[in-house]
Structure 1
Amino acid sequence: MENRKFTDADQDLLVDIMLHRRDVRGNNFLADEVPDEVVSQILRAATLAPSVGYSQPWEFVMVRDPAIRRQVVADFEVENQKAEARFSGDRRNLYTRLKLEGILEAPVNIAVFYKPSAGPVLGQTSMAEVGEYSVVCAIQNMWLMARALNVGMGWVSILNPDTVKQLLNAPPENKLVGYLCLGYVRQFFDTPELERLAWDRRKPLETVVHVDRYE
């Protein structure tokens, strides 16, 4: 529809979806299969994201093979030990109790890659990284669509991207941007899990907005 307008109710619904989006961990996923048509809706939402120069530089790998997933988990465990060592005291004690992935528990894993263009891309000549930012926009679309479909999604970032690339036989030029776990959940919490566990709190808007320049 040309020049589509949205209502106050539409805007409120979008805000509600954003407010209730959650990063889901393995201790909250159900084993129930996610229908292919639901996964397709989530992937299609990814392809509707904005991208620099309309380059659409994303590619997706559905990871269903349990053997591959177990190797991804093995890599997570190695990287997680390194990450844990960076914290100390109460922070480290809390870190050790966190469940930070759902690779085996979630019925669907999706690896999201940035595929660079062979030639110059409109809008990307001064800031090369905006191609990867475009892929992040695609992942955000997936997260919001998943939540709208009452499907949980978790982003596993404690991985060695080179190891995952090798496991998935990704082209050398492709860059892993996100490794995602999707599935139905036992519950969606009212607040983010890390906020509930007192890891951190949401920053007030006024603390992150500056006018004209930083003071």
Structure 2
Amino acid sequence: MPAPLTESHSAVFSPEEQESFYRLIASRRDMRHFIAGASVDDAVLMRLLRAAHSAPSVGLMQPWRFIRVADAAVREEIAALVEAERQKTAVALGERDGEFLRLKVEGVRECAELLVVAMAPDDGTVFGRRTMPREMALCSAACAIENLWLAARVENLGLGWVSMFAPDALAALLRLPPGGQPIAILCLGPVQAFYPAPMLELEGWRQGRPLADLMSTNTWDRPDA
């Protein structure tokens, strides 16, 4: 069993630990297929949430809030919200609608644990976010989700980020306070196997681009400067 997440002020990581870390990143996947009826131990779930809560945040504002959906009826209502947006997305895609509808895009009903990540109402933090207040709160919350995602993978659990929902409808369902906004539905749980590559690549929907295509020096349009 992994050791509890603790502070480490001066850790020096060995080459073997470094290799494991990069292997972890390379093996992270956005999972949509879960083992129905499986469970996640409460101690494991708390390790994941502590990992998420250890994420950096601009001005130490920690804007993330985690809602564990334990009520089957609430989960079913969330599944209905996701399905409604899936249908609207298909319409927006036009000629690719049929291809899209054949994709499995979530595991809300099958996953062992369902979490919703929301941004808390703005607490007025100015430090580091005077010019981009909402963007920096969102980036901070996204860092927490990525921490949770990597922690789930190292625990050999699948995690899928679902973004297909109407934020106002989900906020009302979960009784978020004014100014609070849901940004992610996270499906978490045991899986039969992890995809060997991103699922959208395996399904031929889209191919990831190489890093070299996304880098430049000094300015956006001068890659060789």
Same fold per superposition (TM over 0.5): yes
1:212 lines up with 2:222 in the alignment: no
Partner of 1:49: 55
**C-alpha distance in 1 between matches for 2:210 and 2:57:** 29
Which amino acid in the other structure matches residue 70 of structure 1? Answer: E
Which amino acid in the other structure matches residue 12 of structure 2? Answer: K
**C-alpha distance in 1 between matches for 2:102 and 2:81:** 19
Which amino acid in the other structure matches residue 114 of structure 1? Answer: M
Unpaired segments of 5 or more residues in structure 1? none
SS of the counterpart of 2:152?
helix
Q: 1:21 aligns with which of 28, 34, 42?
A: 28
Which amino acid in the other structure matches residue 26 of structure 2? Answer: L
SS of the counterpart of 2:217?
coil
Q: Report which stretch shifted further, 58-67 or 121-130.
A: 121-130
SS of the counterpart of 1:206?
helix
1:198 lines up with 2:207 in the alignment: no
Partner of 2:155: 149
Partner of 2:19: 12
Unpaired segments of 5 or more residues in structure 2? 1-7
**C-alpha distance in 2 between matches for 1:2 and 1:75:** 44
Partner of 1:94: 99
1:116–1:131 contact (8 Å) kept in structure 2: no
1:108 lines up with 2:99 in the alignment: no
Shift of 1:31: 1.9
Shift of 1:92: 2.5
Shift of 1:87: 1.7
SS of the counterpart of 2:92?
coil
TM (norm. structure 2) is 0.90
2:118–2:181 contact (8 Å) kept in structure 1: yes
TM (norm. structure 1) is 0.94
Which amino acid in the other structure matches residue 185 of structure 1? Answer: V
2:116–2:182 contact (8 Å) kept in structure 1: yes
Within a 5 Å distance, the mapping from 1:73-84 to structure 2 comes to: 73-84=79-90
1:37 lines up with 2:43 in the alignment: yes
Which amino acid in the other structure matches residue 88 of structure 1? Answer: G
CA deviations on 1:15-68 (whole Å, 9 max, x unpaired) are 11111111111x433421101011101100111101001111111110011101
Identity of aligned residues (%): 37
Q: 1:127 aligns with which of 116, 127, 132?
A: 132
**C-alpha distance in 1 between matches for 2:90 and 2:122:** 36
RMSD (Å), alpha carbons = 1.3
Aligned length: 213
1:59–1:112 contact (8 Å) kept in structure 2: yes
**C-alpha distance in 2 between matches for 1:190 and 1:30:** 21
**C-alpha distance in 2 between matches for 1:3 and 1:58:** 27
